[in-house]
Structure 1
Amino acid sequence: MKNFALTFPFNDCSAHFPFIEHFSFQTVDSSKSNPVYLPQGIGIRMFYFKDGIFEISVDGNSQTMLPGDCLVVCPWENVEIIPNRIRRSSFFHLIIRTKFFDADQDLEFGYWSKISQYDQMEIGEIFKNYHKFKINKSDFLAKLFVQLTNEIFVHEMSQNEMVIHIIDQIMILFAREAQKSSLKTTENTTVSQIIEQNITKDPLHHWSVPEMAQIAQLGITAFSERMKMETGLSPINFLIKIRINIAMNLMAHFNYKIGDIAYETGFYSPQHFSLTFKKMTGVSPHKYRKTYYEKQL
C-alpha cells in the first residue's frame, strides 16, 4: 500500500493476535495517490470508510463508498481502491484469518472465536451470497472499529478476550447488515416467487434448502423464516407444493402415465408421488385425473 500516504498498520497484531492478519487505519492524500490493487488474500477483508469518497472495485464490480460505508471482501476476490480527487480520505482495513473458507467450503474461524459453529457457517453463506452489497452508514460498526483500535493500543487486563469479543461482534454485525442491505434490492419481488420460478424451470432437479437459499441470496435460517412468512410453508413443503401443482397441470392436459409424471416432477418413485399427492390434495392422482376429466364433459 505504498501509494497511500500516512498508513498506520498496527504491526504487533499478528504477534499478539494470530487471527488478525492485518489491521490498519489509512489516510490518503488523494492528490499524490494512485489506485491500490489488493490481490486475493488469506482472510476475510473488512473495510470501514471514515472520511472522503472512494471507488472500490471487487473483481471488476465497482461501487462508490461514502463516509460511514462498510464492505466485506472474501479471500478469493481481488480488490482495487481508487480514492476520489479530494483533499484527504481515510479508512480502516481489517483482515481476519480463517481456518477454512473458500467459494466451495464453509466458514470456520478456528479455536479463538466464540461464535457457534452453526452461526459461523451461516455468516459464511451470507458473505458468499451477498457480501458485495455495501453497508450504508453503520454507526454500530464504526464504534466497533474504534473500540478495536483502542483495545489493541491500551494493553489492559483481559485484552485478548476483549479483542476476540469485538471481532466476533464485527463479524456478526457485518453479516446482519449485509443481509439487510441485500433485501432492500429485492423488496419488489418476493423470495417465494423467485424460488417458484426456478423450481418450475427444472422440477426434476434435486433441490436442497441451502441451494434455494443461495438463489434467494439469503442465509439458510433467514431464507426459511422468509418462506414461512410469505407462504406459511417450510422450504421443503413449498418445493413439494410446486411439484404437485406441476403434476396436476400435466395430468389435466396430457395423457402421460402417472409414473412418468412422478419422475418428471422430481419424485423418486410413483409410490412416493402418490402418497404425497394424496396427503397434499386429499385424493389419489388417478382419482384427481378422473374427476378432472368428468368435469370437462
Structure 2
Amino acid sequence: MGNERFDISIPKEYLTRDKARLLYVSSATYGGDWISTPHTHYCSELFYVIDGVGQFQVEDNIFPVSANDLVVINPNVSHTELGFNANPLKYIVLGIEGLELSVENNNANFCIVNFREIKDTVNFYLKVMLREIETRSAGYETVCQDLMEILIVLFGRQTNFSTILSPANKRASHLCDSVRRYIDQNCGDELSLEHLAKFSHVNKYYLVHAFTDEYGISPINYLMHARVKKAEKLLATTDYSLSVISHTCGFSSSSYFSQTFKKVAGVSPSSYRKTVKSDHGEMEDLSR
C-alpha cells in the first residue's frame, strides 16, 4: 500500500475569512434601454462579464468591456455600466466588504482584467454561488463566502493583484462616507433609516452606531440638516413658495418644514429668506 502526505501552508494574503465578507451577489442583463447613473458603494464590487459587450464609466473615464472581463471597483469610486441593445451586457457582481484589489503599478481605485483562460472555472463557481443564493439551502451563506474566497485565489493566480484587507475602522469609515454622500445627493427623496440600511447592506442599528461615531450625528439627523441646507439655498436663490420648497426638500408638510428649519437654522424660513435677500440687496447697492 502506498501513502503520500502533502502538508499545506496557506499564504497570509489568502486568509480573508472574518476580514473580507461577501455582502451580496446579483446578476444582470444590461442593454441600451436601461438607464444607469454614476454611483458609489462603501464596499468593493467585482463585476464579471458573462457575455455581451458594453462600457464602464469609472469616474470621468469610459472603458470597453466584453466577455470574461473582471471589473474591480474599490470603495467610494464613482461608476456606472453602459450597455448596447445589439449585444446586451450580461454580468454577475459580487459586493465584498473589507477587501480592495488592484493591479500593481496601476490605478488603485479600479482595474479591468480579462480571464478568458479560466473562464469555464470562473463561470462554474459563479453559477454555483447564484444557485446557492437563489435556493437559500441550509448553510448557503458559508458556501457563498467560501466560493468568493476561491474566486479571489483564482484571480490572483492569473494576474498580479495587490490585495488590501481593510481594518474594521476603515470599513466603517467607507460605509459612513458612502451613506453621507447618498444622503447629500438624495435628501429631497423619501428616505428612512430602513432605506439607508438597505442601501448600505448593514443592520440599521449598526449603521446608526457607526455613523454617529464617525460624524457625531445620527443618519436621520444628518438627513434633516441636509434638507435644511438645501432649503436655505432655494430660499436664497428662488422665489418658490414655502410649500414648494418643503416638498422639494423632502419634508412631509409645510408645518414640519418650518418647525425643523427653525430648530436647525435658528430662524423661520420666511425670516431667513428676508434676511438673505436684504443682505444681498445691500451688497448690490455697495457695488454700484
Normalised TM-score (structure 1): 0.41
Which one scores higher on RCO, CA 8 angstroms, separation ≥ 6?
A: 2
Q: Which structure would you say has the larger Rg?
A: 1
